[in-house]
Amino acid sequence: MGGRSPPPVREYPYLLPSLRNLMTDLLSTVEARLGSHLLTSAVPSDVLSFQNPSGTSAGAIDIRSGSPDSPIYFILESWLHCELPTGALNIATLLATLNTSTDAPHLICELIQSSPTSLLLFLDLFPRRDLVLHPDYLDEFYHQTNLEKPRQELAKLPQVQPYFFSSLYLRCLVSPTVNLVLINVGGSEGDSAMEDIIRGPVRSTCKEIVEIWLDKCANSRKQLGDAERADLITRDDMIISKSIEVDLVQNLPRMFGPDVADRVVREIQKAFRRQENNG
């Protein structure tokens, strides 16, 4: 990763201390459990961290593919930081995807802070089946794992309100137990109230759901027929490409200019295509 500036992904230089601790903790948990399944990163240093020409935007992305005999497709970790006239925008993302040795859900955890008093949390297990046609899948990964409990506990806090993606397509990708909330803390207490809610309920919700994914999904194996496998690949391609497109591909040019954005997007798509060839 060299001595380049800005620092690489796991340093999260611009995040609130509580968010930085949370993200490094989640990454450590995931990597400790998946360690032997993950290949060394092949992301070049000018994508591991990057900034725009004027230095007002910075970012870091790392992608690690799963080993061929593992159920891991790839893990994407990233942070983006941007100085805006209205304040700083910070986005931290962990996307952990599985290959077709299972149909278990992918994991998405995204934290977006656009002001010291507000935080958007998007935390979900992306379903890889059409849940209308597969109530057994809904039962296995969403009922039996009791994902509704942490969702309800977070949702009942007075600072928490439901959030709706402006993209209708993104709304279709999420599960019925998605945590998709905007957290607003009072103006006068500001940073410390936000730190408290992150260290408390946000942290425990994230950790609980990442543990459920590690226990019930990341170890899962399922023998799929050829047609089922083909359906799964089609659906995965839509889910991953669209979620990356809406989230990263659309924001990067605005934040970093076309040259940096092209370089980063190309690297993401390379990792994605390499995996597609592996099936």
Site of interaction with a second copy (CB under 8 A): 130-133, 135, 138, 142-143, 148, 162, 168-169, 171-173, 176-177, 234-235, 238-239, 242
Instruction: Say which residues have a Cβ less than 8 Å from residue 211's Cβ, sequence separation at least 6.
Output: 29
The CA-based dihedral angle spanning residues 166, 171, 176, 177, taken in that order and rounded to the nearest 10 degrees: -50
Q: Which is nearer to a second copy, 16 or 180 (CB)?
A: 180
Tracing tokens 């903790």 back to the chain, one arrives at 25
Q: Which is nearer to a second copy, 32 or 133 (CB)?
A: 133
Q: Count the Cβ atoms, other than its own, within 10 Å of residue 36.
A: 7
CB of 166 to a second copy, least distance (A): 9
235, amino acid identity: R
CB of 137 to a second copy, least distance (A): 10
* Buried b / exposed e along 120-139 (16+ C-beta atoms within 10 A): ebbbbbbbbbebeeeeebbe
CB of 200 to a second copy, least distance (A): 23
Residue 147 φ then ψ, to 5°: -65, -15
Q: Which is nearer to a second copy, 143 or 266 (CB)?
A: 143
First to last CA, the chain: 29
Q: Which is nearer to a second copy, 65 or 177 (CB)?
A: 177
Q: Which is nearer to a second copy, 207 or 235 (CB)?
A: 235
CB of 272 to a second copy, least distance (A): 17
CB of 153 to a second copy, least distance (A): 13
Q: Is the preceding peptide bond at 53 cis, omega within 30 degrees of 0?
A: no
